[in-house]
Amino acid sequence: MQNNIRNTNLRFNLDKEQQRRAWEYLQTMDRQDFKSYSQVISLALVDYFDRYYRTQADPYLETRE
């Protein structure tokens, strides 16, 4: 069986608001919904980049959230 696991390290600078908020979300996330840091970070990255590339491909795409 191939080794399909990749490791990386994350560093959060808590003096920067966005990084501090991300760290706080990770610390307070509901473990019933999100089983691991890997799961929640992969969900967030895929969602972010899916939206980013969709708006790059269609500059008239408007999202209302």
Domain ranges of the chain: 32-57
Residues with Cβ within 8 Å of 51's Cβ and at least 6 positions away in sequence, in order, are 63
Q: Of the candidates 35, 65, 29, which has an alpha carbon nearest to the alpha carbon of residue 47?
A: 65
Report d(CA 33, CA 36) in Å as an integer. 9
Q: Kindly give the confidence (pLDDT) of every residue in the chain, 65 residues in length, as a single tens digit, with 9 standing for 90 and above.
A: 678 999 999 999 999 999 999 999 999 999 999 999 999 999 999 999 998 888 887 767 666 55
Q: Are 40 and 34 in contact (CB under 8 A)?
A: yes
Residue 62 confidence (pLDDT)? 64
Amino acid at 1: M
